[in-house]
Amino acid sequence: GSAACILSPAQPQVSVEGQIQRHLGHGYSFSSEDEAVFDEAFRFTKNEAQAESIAVSVSNASKETGVSPLLLASVIEYESGFNTTAATGDAVGLMQMSAKDASSLGLDASNQNDNVLAGAKVLAKYGGKKDTHKDLYAALIGFHEGESVYEALLKGGTPSKEAAAYA
């Protein structure tokens, strides 16, 4: 990991691990993946507090769904460039989730934590928890194109060139 630290005028210098543990509570097992997510978020946002907030949202969603925080960060980078206020059509937030898709999961697409969790749940639904290239490819196709394209892919179909490039 890196030596990145989160600075706050009201607090002494605290490591990323310390900040994330403080947010997530006792008993949390810090991983180098969480630090990598923070580093990538900071590279885009140039804002330590925002990068920390994103890293915590990703870590929580990863813990709840079993989807790798690095996969979530990769999708976030592609979908929104770590821009928490990104909006394209009806897709909003870090994971570019539609209100309809998020609400079908009982979540609010406009809430950062819910947005990342909704994206993680969709990736998990399509096999994003597995570690084989084929499963991740299918999960990304499902996330990007939806259930019908995902099902066709499982039956030997081929995704569009755009979807294949996405995955």
pLDDT in tens, 94-107: 999 999 999 999 99
pTM above 0.85, yes or no: no
The answer to whether 167 touches 144, Cβ cutoff 8 Å, is yes
Compute the half-sphere exposure of residue 47: CA atoms within 13 Å on the CB side of its CA.
8
Lowest mean pLDDT among 24-28, 43-47, 59-63, 118-122: 24-28
What is the CB neighbour count within 10 angstroms for residue 27?
6
pLDDT digits (tens, 9 = 90+) for 141-153: 888 888 888 888 8
User: Using only C-alpha atoms, what is the Rg of the chain?
Assistant: 16
Across the strands, what pairs with 6?
A: 14
